[in-house]
Amino acid sequence: MDAPAIRIVGLSKRYGGLLAVDNLDLEVSNGEVFGFLGLNGAGKTTTIRVLLDLIRPSAGKAFVLGEDCQSNGLRVRAQVGYLPGEIRFYGDMTGTETLDLLARLGRQSVAPHYRGQLLERMELSSADLRRRIREYSTGMKRKLGIVQAFQTDPALLILDEPTEGLDPLMQESFYQILYDAQRRGRTVFMSSHVLSEVERVCHRIGLIRKGTLALLSPVEEVRKLAARRVRVFFEREVDRIPARFPDGYEIVEIQPQCWTVRARGALGPLIDALAGLPVRDLEVEKPRLEDVLISYYREGTP
């Protein structure tokens, strides 16, 4: 497919005096797992609703799998597996009835074997599926929502806070389902505020702040912007500190036999600065995504 999975051009959405999304441009490639980040109220859910033609933009255009979201909304939704952030199913329907209804509305066939795999991974039994939705816990509704989003094996998955309310074991099961879909070439557009989750599963991230895109970058490139923490262990107590550390390096904690150094760039200059000291070992802590993104959340610039 030549067209990107998602293309957003000059998208704006205004609610009265509130500008929820402001002139947003974004493309998501086919087969990509894209993390769409932002604080509550930043414009994430509004953008997703425009993509699904659940609301209309005030300006701009949005395309999904080459289709105009507004002029071909039904065709777009038929090709998308959607998991909303707040799940509302019909309470008097059973789990099975809910899955069947949503599959029919999407005009897509469901392979029974694949649905069975999803249900097994989400630990939803036949007895669970015979129960009315009003008897489901929040976690069970989330698990059923994941199954309905994936069950037609759609080309594009739009997932809004997918692991909200799941316990750690179910989160692992969800990640495995996601990996399998990505290996089959499916595209995933995932909104989340859990940075460790995004760092684990996404290829690229876009961070929206006050309706505008504050950052768009591969996850690895974002991680490189953060300083690493290096713990230097000594054979014995050290009371001599180098007169001058290289630029980009700063000692942030000193103990008799261990220093913690904040390091930017290659570690060669740090090793040179430690020459002559009784170094026993170095421990390098991998930089975290949140070490960079927290400044964007707060100020809009790193």
Half-sphere exposure of 53 (CA within 13 A, CB side): 16
* pTM for the structure as a whole: 0.80
Task: Say how far apart CA 114 and CA 125 lie, in whole Å.
Answer: 15
- Separation of alpha carbons 183 and 113, rounded Å: 18
Q: Is residue 42 part of a domain?
A: yes
pLDDT of residue 32: 95
Which residue bears the tokens 């557009």?
A: 189
Q: Are residues 81 and 213 in the same domain?
A: yes
237 in the same domain as 141: no
181 in the same domain as 282:
no
Rounded CA separation 43/204 (Å) = 18
SS3 208: strand
Angle at 20 between CA 17 and CA 23, to 5 degrees: 105
pLDDT for 94 equals 97
Task: Give the domain CATH number at 273.
Answer: 3.30.70
User: Considering 191, 206, 221, which residue would you say is the last residue of a domain?
Assistant: 221
In-domain check, residue 295: no
Query: For the segment 97-151, what is each residue's pLDDT rounded down to a tens digit?
Result: 999 999 888 777 889 999 999 999 999 999 999 999 999 999 999 999 999 999 9
The amino acid occupying position 71 is: S
Would you say residue 302 lies in a domain?
no
Tell me if residue 185 falls in helix, strand or coil: coil
Q: In this structure, what token pair is assigned to residue 79?
A: 């090709």
Q: Which two tokens stand for residue 299?
A: 């100020």
Same domain as 197, residue 261? no
Sequence-separated (6 or more) residues with CB below 8 Å from residue 93: 101, 132, 133
Overall domain count for the chain: 2
Residue whose pair of structure tokens reads 């054979």 in the numeric block: 235
Domain that holds residue 138: 6-221
Residue 156 pairs with which residues in a beta bridge?
A: 80, 187
Identify the CATH number of the domain in which residue 50 sits.
3.40.50.300
pLDDT tens digits, residue range 187-235? 999 988 777 788 889 999 998 888 999 889 898 888 777 777 889 999 9
Q: Do 232 and 108 share a structural domain?
A: no
Amino acid at 232: V
